[in-house]
Amino acid sequence: MGDVMAHAEPTLHGLMAEFDNPSALVAAAERARLAGYRQMDAYSPIPIEELNEALGLRRTRLPILVFLGGLAGGLGGYSLEYWTSVVAYPMNVGGRPYHSWPQFIPVTFETTVLGAALACFFGMWALNKLPQPYHPVFNVPAFARASTDRFFLCIEAADPRFERAATWRFLEGLHPVGVSEVAP
Amino acid sequence: MAEDLEQPQHRIGAQPDATELLARTPAVIAPGHSFDSVTETIAHTVPSKRTPLGWFLGFGVAFLLLMVMNLTIGKLLMTGIGIWGNNIPVGWAFDIINFVWWIGIGHAGTLISAILLLFRQQWRTSINRFAEAMTLFAVACAAMFPLLHTGRPWLALYWLFPYPNTMGLWPQFRSPLIWDVFAVSTYGTVSALFWFTGLVPDMATLRDRAKTRTTQMIYGMLSLGWRGSARHWQRYEMAYLLLAGISTPLVLSVHSVVSFDFAVSVLPGWHATIFPPYFVAGAIYSGFAMVMTLAIPLRKFYHLEDFITMRHIHNMTKVMLVTGMIVAYGYANEVFFSWYSANPYEGYMMSNRMTGPYAVFYWSLIAINAVMIQLFWFRSVRENIPLLFVLSLLVNVGMWLERFIIIVTSLHRDFLPSSWDMYEPTRWDFGMFAGTIGLFLSLFFLFIRFLPAIAMFEMRTIVPEAKVEQEHHG
């Protein structure tokens, strides 16, 4: 988010408009994008699929991470079984070959699942840069309802087109419940 | 469940006729709810309010049972596993019966949270949170048995996990028992990750509603600083879907692997290819019975009838009917193969089950799992809540008896009559079993006291106002 600092006004994180329903938020996000704003984010108490398009979000890389996690888990599990049974301590069990691959499948399957799940869990939080103890949006008192029944659109000061007065007027024009400044 | 399959999932609210369908079907959520009322109804049970007296009563009973478990474990660690009734030829008894029983109960939670999500079964939303909690607690109870059966549980991790002993020997990867270790530990881990992921947005809600600084801090930390950003939601929804996709084959594998503990051996009554599907179906069957057992008092005492509606009760009963019939088919198959295989040991195993010293347990489980469940065909039964509560408890008893029969009758009379013997549990066996029920219920009572028992953010997605009306730009 706030990595383009050139136009940032140091006293302000951005301006935030509050809406009372998801449709208004989606419409507002779409207008803001059409007006040329890019450094912005929407906040909602529920996942809203339409926002991805309205905000022009790219698809997440998470599935690739999960695939790689599963691959690493599967290869790791199978290698562990191979190494312990064939290399580290070969042992004859009922005349079975040291490399009894069909019997190595259940554990390989489980470690694949484990690797994929761990990659999914930690990958998702890492991509989201969470846990994050502090964020400016929490400075807006009304934002406490963002986890219950209110919807917010925040245009950040870092956006090249951001101008305090003009952006304020723009947000007012979206018929929000209210507009507020977000302290950094 | 045909009507559910046609119903689109409107957690995203994209389908144009979602509201109309919502009005027509028996309602997954009672009409008239809004974002705020849903949140309020669920969240008011968590810390902000006084603890109800009934909670203390229930938790007190559960805690007493938990103390029975501690007493049993203390006795076990001081004396050794000789205090239990299992001895050759029945070397496995209550430990594995209860292990399989608890693991099976856990399966319904994952089925509800993962498989029903993939099948877009919207009714899962109201019950998935506490069903997942049930899974975690059931897995914890299950894990107690093999760990304590090692006699020295503090060494168990070192024995079970891939780490060589002092002579360089590694765990035996050709053994189903080590598969079981991997399956159950993976299952426990993935279930916990899934459960926690689901909790995070709700923790943010509780943080924002907190009345005191302490609760705000605690829920704030648990929420990881969640702020409901659209970018976060996008990845979150993807992660949730992927975790569901990962958990679906996992849950099917876990009870399959548990069944391999038996099926890979050569004992009559265990060495059967029907075991994996039959065990998985039995697991889901008993798990739904436990969800029902928990849901009926929960919706009553916490006034959640608007969210856990008759629709849920109906659907859970139908799932129990289907999976119960698969289990009954498994019983029929066992009888058929003991005859068709023309193997005298298989034949004897079956006649011993039906007429031997444990026959009363065999016929009880047939009476419950094959005969009694036919009651679920009747709508009047599916609508009779007190009766359903009793029936769901009986299903749990029936599934416990099934594991008892499979394990004990096969072991106590195997190939050599000279080595036959009877198995009798001791009071410590019962103490341990009752103790894990105490552990399970204690954890569940703490859960409903401190965490939202229903997923608030998911419930918000199914209220009518969650639907997005889109403008169209050329």
pLDDT in tens, B402-455: 999 999 999 999 899 999 999 999 999 999 999 999 999 999 999 999 999 999
Q: Is the pLDDT of residue B401 over 70?
A: yes
Tell me which of B46, B181, B246, B461 to substitute to probe the interface with A (most A C-beta atoms closer than 10 Å).
B246
Is B69 contained in some domain? Answer: yes
pLDDT at A1: 44
pLDDT in tens, B21-74: 555 456 788 888 888 888 888 887 776 567 888 899 999 999 999 999 999 999
Q: Is the pLDDT of residue B10 over 80?
A: no
Does A44 sit within 8 Å of B460, measured CB to CB? no
Does A27 sit within 8 Å of B470, measured CB to CB? yes
By the 8 A CB rule, do B261 and B184 touch? no
Map tokens 């419409």 to a residue: A27
Contacts B226 to A, Cβ<8 Å: 130, 147
Does B232 sit within 8 Å of A85, measured CB to CB? no
Provide the shortest C-alpha distance from residue A44 to chain B (in Å). Answer: 5
Q: Is the pLDDT of residue B161 over 90?
A: no
Distance, in Å, from the CA atom of B357 to the CA atom of B370, rounded to the nearest integer, reads 21
Distance, in Å, from the CA atom of B354 to the CA atom of B352, rounded to the nearest integer, reads 5
pLDDT at B14: 47
Q: What integer best gives the mean pLDDT of chain B?
A: 90
What type of residue is B223?
Answer: S
A42 — phi, psi (to 5°)?
A: -110, 150
Q: Is some CB atom of chain B closer than 8 A to the CB atom of A124?
A: yes
Is B317 contained in some domain? Answer: no
Q: Is some CB atom of chain A closer than 8 A to the CB atom of B265?
A: no
Is B368 contained in some domain? Answer: no
HEC string of B408-458?
A: HHHHHCCCCHHHCCCCCCCHHHHHHHHHHHHHHHHHHHHHHHHCCCCCHHH
pLDDT in tens, B103-148: 999 998 888 889 999 988 888 989 999 999 999 999 999 999 999 9
Q: Which residue of B has its CA nearest to A47?
A: B233
How many domains does the structure of chain B reveal? 1
Give which of A33, A110, A48 is closest to A78, Cα–Cα.
Answer: A110
pLDDT at B2: 41
Does B461 sit within 8 Å of A60, measured CB to CB? no
Does A104 sit within 8 Å of B173, measured CB to CB? yes
Q: Is some CB atom of chain A closer than 8 A to the CB atom of B98?
A: no
pLDDT at B205: 94
Q: Is some CB atom of chain B closer than 8 A to the CB atom of A98?
A: no
Is B64 contained in some domain? Answer: yes
The pairing of strands A178-182 and A14-19 is antiparallel
- What are the structure tokens assigned to A69, written together? 């996690």
Query: Consecutive 10-residue runs of chain A (184 residues): their mean pLDDT?
Result: 49 93 95 94 95 93 97 98 95 92 96 98 96 93 93 95 94 94 92
The model's confidence at residue B471, banded by pLDDT at 50, 70 and 90, is low
Q: Which residue of B has its CA nearest to A44?
A: B228
Closest CB to A55 among B190, B204, B230: B230
The model's confidence at residue B290, banded by pLDDT at 50, 70 and 90, is very high
HEC string of chain B?
A: CHHHHHCCCCCCCCCCCHHHHHHHCCCCCCCCCCHHHHHHHHHCCCCCCCCCHHHHHHHHHHHHHHHHHHHHHHHHHHHCHHHCCCECCECCCHHHHHHHHHHHHHHHHHHHHHHHHHCCCCCHHHHHHHHHHHHHHHHHHHHHHHHHHCCCHHHHHHHHCCCCCCCCCCCCCCCHHHHHHHHHHHHHHHHHHHHHHHHHHHHHHHHHHCCCHHHHHHHHHHCCCCCCEHHHHHHHHHHHHHHHHHHHHHHHHHHHHHHHHHHCCCCCCCCCCCHHHHHHHHHHHHHHHHHHHHHHHHHHHCCCCCCCCHHHHHHHHHHHHHHHHHHHHHHHHHHHHHHHCCCHHHHHHHHHHHHCCCHHHHHHHHHHHHHHHHHHHCHHHHCCHHHHHHHHHHHHHHHHHHHHHHHHHHHHCCCCHHHCCCCCCCHHHHHHHHHHHHHHHHHHHHHHHHCCCCCHHHHHHCCHHHCCCCCCCC
Contacts A51 to B, Cβ<8 Å: 230, 233-234
Tell me which of B19, B209, B231, B459 to substitute to probe the interface with A (most A C-beta atoms closer than 10 Å).
B231
If you average pLDDT over residues B149-153, what whole number do you get?
Answer: 89
pLDDT in tens, B257-266: 999 999 999 9
Contacts A125 to B, Cβ<8 Å: 224
- What are the structure tokens assigned to B310, written together? 């008759």
Q: Is some CB atom of chain B closer than 8 A to the CB atom of A97?
A: no
Contacts A123 to B, Cβ<8 Å: 239
Closest CB to B35 among A45, A114, A118: A45
pLDDT at B45: 72
Map tokens 């888990």 to a residue: A73
Provide the shortest C-alpha distance from residue B410 to chain A (in Å). Answer: 23
Q: Which residue of A has its CA nearest to B171?
A: A84
Is B289 contained in some domain? Answer: yes
Is B325 contained in some domain? Answer: no
Is B214 contained in some domain? Answer: yes
Long-range contacts: B213-219, Cβ < 8 Å, 24+?
A: B215/B47, B215/B48
List CB contacts of B293: < 8 A, sequence separation 6 or more.
B389, B392, B393, B396
Domain range for B80: 2-257+284-311+424-466
pLDDT at B25: 54
Give which of B199, B189, B80, B469 is closest to A22, Cα–Cα.
Answer: B469
Q: ipTM value of the model?
A: 0.92
If you average pLDDT over residues B158-183, what whole number do you get?
Answer: 90
Q: Is the pLDDT of residue B13 over 90?
A: no
